[in-house]
Amino acid sequence: MINDTIKLAIVGFGNSAQAFARLLIQKVGEVKDTYGKEVLVTAIAGNRKGSIINHDGIDLSAVLETVQSQGVFDNPLAMSTFELIERSGADVVIELSPLSIESGQPAIDHIRTAFSNGMHVITANKGPIAWALKELSETAQKAGKHFLYETTVMDGAPVFNLVKHTLRGCKILSFEDILNTTTNFILEELGKGNGFDEAVLEAQRRGFAEADPTMDITGMDAAAKTCALINALMGGDLTPPMIETKGIQDITEADLQKASEKGCTIKLICEGRKYEKGARGAVLPKPIPLSHPFATVRGTSSALCIETDLMGKLTIIEHDPEIEQTAYGIFSDLLQLF
């Protein structure tokens, strides 16, 4: 049973964390009225922004204003993120540090530290789910704590909660999905006759492609998400290098034109399938018939089709998500604790 006053420590204060902070400001009164819970943020580790702690509650509006105007916190403390977690007095750690697809670190160690200090964990970081879900879930269970990660794959769209809470008794046999918005957008632009580099620059200009989009273009980001889905939905114990992966870097306008002549388009498709002994996954550019629901997934939208033993196939499409949907996913996990 969680306390009536819930203290949060936020690890990482990039775009997702700031969007969550803004949402929390809007909803804190509603949470109090609806659930009888007071939510306080007592610590923030902001990477290059510094670290701050206030056990009576941090003024999030003031922090957001300062970060926007100065780029750093006022009077930041000199301490490691691990020390901040230990000193935060928090009930819940919100782990939102930058992704490391190569290892899932340091987020994995942040989460371990939180559990060892008796804290629940919510993360939007797919790295720990792709690299260490089994271990972290077992650690959480032994500690009697929750480990929640709805936002790691499809922003705020209910994927893991759908399976856990709504599809009780169903086994997930396989899935197909489109989960990388950058590659989806680039392929769409190529189909319009725009050049590859031009499409990348436009994706960067719109703010959903990184300054270095290599992880997206090569399929690495999608492989991490595929791994996370297999580990969470199928009980797998895979890591990203175990996912067969091919990106879109070699796809040309001519390839899309040939696909169009055959009544298809090309999408970067993530796949996972459960077998008697384990599970396998792949990320590959594939021709998709124009009659397929995935053919209509355009721009920054994403889609997931899961095949179950009892409910057949179910498809979720998230239309043009923004950073606010990521913030909602974190917030929805927080509500799971009440």
Catalytic residues: 225
CA 59/CA 27 separation, integer angstroms: 15
Give the helix/strand (H/E) hosting 153. Answer: helix 151-154
Report whether 326 contacts 181 (CB < 8 A): no
DSSP string, 90-111: -SEEEE-PPP-TTT-TTHHHHH
Q: What angle do CA 317, 282, 308 make, to 5 degrees?
A: 55
Joined together, the tokens standing for residue 27 give 């909803």
Strands (E), the chain: 5-11, 38-45, 51-53, 92-95, 120-123, 147-148, 172-178, 244-245, 264-275, 278-289, 302-308, 313-318
305 CB burial (10 A radius; 0-12, 13-18, 19+): middle
- For residue 307, what are the contacts with CB-CB under 8 A and spacing of at least 6? 172, 173, 174, 175, 313
CB atoms within 10 A of CB 176: 21
